[in-house]
Copies of this chain bind each other. A is one copy, B any other.
Amino acid sequence: MGLFSKTCEYAMRAVFYIASHSADGSRPGIKEIAENINSPEHFLAKILQKLSKGGIISSIKGPNGGFYIEPNGLKRPLADIITCLEGDEIFTGCGMGLSYCSESNPCPLHNEFKKVRNQLTHMLYNTSIGEFNSELLTGALTLNK
């Protein structure tokens, strides 16, 4: 297992994909997104529904419908995706799973683990959803396989 769940991996890839296409006003559908980020279509659909309810992305039904992200949404941090789907445990939980662990009553790994978590937090809060739009549109960066 990687650092993130499949759910979060697919979600980040999908949101990047939608973001880059929202930049030029198009609205990709689930099938197109799933193909381009290499994820199971219906599983991704559930994830996008949740992101939609959480206000991270928007959707329109029917012909010419699909998913998109408001201009302002492109500025949001990647962290919002994780939080929307799985809460903030990854940002706050103890590395060894100890509930008593805190700054004032630390577990053995607390201080070293804090550095890891800070780096993770930094990455997720300082990367915006629209950050890679141009590279994705030119094909300099890709999201599949």
Contact = CB atoms under 8 A, between A and B. Distances in A.
Given A12-B109, A107-B143, A108-B143, 16 more contacts: A2-B89, A9-B95, A9-B97, A96-B143, A98-B143, A98-B144, A99-B145, A106-B141, A107-B141, A107-B142, A108-B135, A108-B141, A112-B123, A112-B126, A116-B123, A119-B119
A132 B115 contact: no
Interface string A82-119: 00001001100111111110000011110011011101
B127 A112 contact: yes
Contacts of A120: 3, 116
A113 B97 CA distance: 23
Given A119-B116, A131-B108, A95 B4 contact: yes
Interface residues of A, number: 46
Interface in A44-83: none
A3 B93 contact: yes
A108 B135 CA distance: 9
A23 interface: no
A99 B9 CA distance: 12
B127 A2 contact: no
B116 A136 contact: no
A83 to B, nearest CB: 13
